[in-house]
Amino acid sequence: MYRSELQQLAGLPFAKGHATGNDFVLLADPTGALEITAAQVESLCHRRFGIGGDGLIRAVPTAQMSGYEQQFNENPKAYWFMDYRNNDGSIAEMCGNGVRAFVHFLLAEGLVNLPVGQSLQIGSRAGVKEVTRLTDGYAANLGPWGLIHEDQAASDSVDSMVRPSGWEQALPALSITMGNPHTVVALPDQGMLDDLNLFIAPEVSPAPPYGTNVEFVVPAEPLIEDGTARVKMRVFERGVGETLSCGTGACAAAAAMRYWARGTALINNWSVEVPGGTVGVEFLANGDAREDTVLSGPAELVARGIIGRD
């Protein structure tokens, strides 16, 4: 494995980029001709035998994205589609860091023109997202967060238990959707967060039918600064393992902390510190109960190359 998959893609240009250390192999597919298999993704993203990445992102016209053409018919501004894959080759509905790196890639490739302060729409498996170019990064409106088990809305707002590797005790968690599934555990202090062994997947019960990304979050000191709530997070990503950052995970962690504190004055601006940097999460009250969630932070390309040069 690996070598033959890479040879199948020989000659294909790629870029390598990241957003707060969540890194991706990025491919432009302007005619929608590329059929990237799970094995090819795994080979490209392999940290030793391939280029390396937490995931692979293919830029393809939404009109050519099989099964999602309707998204373009309904939103003709969403010309480009972010085809996101985890590094094990599995598909994820959304990638918050990825969509920011994706727009940066489209700009760098000259595939879009996006002056600072302007926004563009991107097709994705979780629907059309709007990304705004900032002076120092991008803000992606990922749409509304939601409780995966709506029946938990009124009760103790715990719907699963998470047992980190090496722990006897399981911890209460809340399942949040950002288009992709997340399970959030609040820990009391930084020491417990630092000591977590995330080389091995935490056990989640009941086992989520489509897997889940597990976030562990603690309040920063002080929790509130200039009207912004500050938390620190580590994540074990579905289909990847521990990553340095997870954008949808940061949104889910902030949403869970905000939900647990729902009896007090709701904070709309959050800062989430992850091992790879810090991202902003803002909740936009859009009139109904499910506020949109805007993820902001840097994104950059670090290299370009050609696959499979023997």
Ligand X SMILES: N[C@H](CCC[C@H](N)C(=O)O)C(=O)O
Exactly one of 62, 71, 97, 271 binds ligand X (CB under 6 A); that residue is 97
Angle between helix axes 96-108 and 247-260 (nearest 10 degrees) is 140
194 burial class (0-12, 13-18, 19+ CB within 10 angstroms)?
exposed
Span near ligand X by CB under 6 A; candidates 28-36, 95-103, 264-272, 302-310? 95-103
Ligand-binding annotation for 264, yes or no, is no
| Shortest Å, Cβ 138 to ligand X | 12
Is the sign of the CA dihedral 94, 257, 232, 227 positive or negative?
A: positive
Closest C-alpha to 238, from 213, 269, 221: 213
Is the sign of the CA dihedral 33, 37, 43, 45 positive or negative?
A: positive
> How wide is the angle at C-alpha 207 spanned by C-alphas 43 and 99, nearest 5°?
45
86 binds ligand X per the rule CB under 6 A: yes
Q: Which of residues 3-42 bind ligand X (CB under 6 A)?
A: 22
Q: What does DSSP say about strands 269-274 and 241-243: parallel, antiparallel, or unpaired?
A: unpaired
Site string for ligand X, 37-76 (x = CB under 6 A): ----------------------------------------
Active site residue 95: yes
Of 231, 246, 253, 295, which one is the catalytic site residue? 246
Distances (CA, A) of 286 to 26, 126, 144, 260, 293: 33, 19, 9, 20, 10
Exactly one of 185, 186, 240, 253 binds ligand X (CB under 6 A); that residue is 240
Ligand-binding annotation for 268, yes or no, is no
Report how far residue 52's alpha carbon sits from residue 8's, in angstroms, rounded to the nearest whole number.
Answer: 17
Exactly one of 53, 96, 276, 280 binds ligand X (CB under 6 A); that residue is 96
Which CB atom, from 41 or from 92, has the smaller least distance to ligand X? Answer: 92
Exactly one of 27, 28, 44, 95 binds ligand X (CB under 6 A); that residue is 95
Exactly one of 246, 255, 281, 299 binds ligand X (CB under 6 A); that residue is 246
Ligand-binding annotation for 247, yes or no, is yes
Please work out the total of residues on this chain that contact ligand X, with binding judged by CB under 6 A. 18
Ligand-binding annotation for 234, yes or no, is no
Which CB atom, from 159 or from 237, has the smaller least distance to ligand X? Answer: 237
Per the CB < 8 A criterion, the answer to whether 266 and 258 are in contact is yes
| Shortest Å, Cβ 203 to ligand X | 17
Report how far residue 246's alpha carbon sits from residue 20's, in angstroms, rounded to the nearest whole number.
Answer: 8
Non-local (6+) Cβ contacts of 66 within 8 A are: none
Is the sign of the CA dihedral 289, 73, 251, 282 positive or negative?
A: negative
**Residues, the chain:** 310
177 binds ligand X per the rule CB under 6 A: no
Span near ligand X by CB under 6 A; candidates 103-111, 243-251, 255-263, 281-289? 243-251
Please report, as ranges, the residues that interact with ligand X according to CB under 6 A: 22, 86, 92, 95-98, 180, 213, 237-240, 243, 246-249
Residues contributing to the annotated binding site for substrate? 22, 86, 96-97, 180, 213, 237-238, 247-248
**Residues assigned a catalytic role:** 95, 246
